Amino acid sequence: MEEVIEFLNCSIQLLNIEFVHGRGKHKTQLQRDYEKLYSYLERLDNYNKSLEICGKRKSYSKTDTDATFMRMKEDHMLNGQLKPGYNVQIGVESEYIVGVGLFPNPTYTTTLIPFLERIRKNTGKKYENIIADAGYASEENYTYLESEEQNAYIKPADYEISKKRKYKNDIYRKENLFYDETGDYFVCPNGKKLIFAYDSKRKSQNEYETTRRNYICEDCSGCPHREKCYKGKYENRKIAFSPTMARQKKEATQRITTDEGIILRMNRSIQVEGAFGVIKQDFAFRRFLTRGKTKTETQFFLLAFAFNIQKLWNRKKSDRFHKPLFEKKIA
């Protein structure tokens, strides 16, 4: 497009054409073509600038280009409206806020690794136990914590629903299908085998590659379970799962159901959610007063300092020094 505009500009100079503007002025075809292409070029520059600002995000706010449009918990119009905001993350140890981070992505799975690396860089500490809720459960996060030799007390995403009777009695779920390790195949409720077909790979937003094994049923024609078992577009049922993630979920479930895991998860609910509760309710802080990631992060840092000073006083007053965890009370 730039070459075409340059060619038109040379033609205009060679033909000695003067541009005219205003009512009653007749533009030449060459001037109209030049102005139209130039407007396209300006729009293209604006698109490139917007894409550069947006980066890997799907949106950004024009009033604060560091912020991303997200669905907030406080939806006064009850229509799922989007507002510019940040995904605020805090790390808590012994009731004190030890790490703060503001992220532009609304999902939690991609924030854990950069947040932990930031805490390690700023404090020089690598925590032995990492406790987080189900929103942080992913193969990428589990693998990272394994490589760093940190214990992941992260509840699998389907942990709560997997405890329900309906989930356990659903014979059509791939988690409940019989799997033969020797032959490497699943068996469906109709007695047909789902045989391994191929491996597929996926990349996360952080370029982490996951390998999924795909199994396809040998024959689903005339199956009486078809409507309940499989509603996909393929003729035969197809399932895919990651063996690594399946192992990690099993280990995570065993870890969080131990006595230590129960205590740690209980304290995560008390200390982390409690910190957010104090900041939002007691401090009445529900909206950033500045724009730009640097300014908003500085504002939240100051808020965290105030929280820690108050927490220090409260722990001293209630004689909770050297007591990092709340004990489980038995009725």
How far apart, in Å, are the Cα atoms of 252 and each of 28, 91, 138, 257?
Answer: 73, 20, 11, 9
Q: Structure pTM?
A: 0.85
Burial class (CB in 10 A: 0-12, 13-18, 19+), 43: exposed
Going by C-alpha positions, the residue among 330, 271, 308, 295 that lies closest to residue 92 is 271
The one-digit pLDDT tens for each residue of the chain (331 residues) are 788 888 888 888 888 888 888 887 888 888 888 888 888 889 999 999 999 999 888 899 999 999 999 988 877 777 878 899 999 999 999 999 999 999 998 889 999 999 999 999 998 889 999 999 999 999 999 999 999 999 999 999 999 999 999 999 999 998 899 999 889 999 999 899 999 999 999 888 888 899 999 999 988 888 888 888 888 777 889 999 899 999 999 999 999 999 999 999 999 999 999 999 999 999 999 999 999 999 999 999 999 999 999 999 999 999 988 899 988 876 5
Other CB atoms within 10 Å distance of the CB of residue 38: 14
> What is the pLDDT, as a whole number, of residue 331?
57
Q: Between the CA of residue 134 and those of 57, 90, 109, 125, 159, what are the distances in Å? A: 23, 16, 9, 24, 8
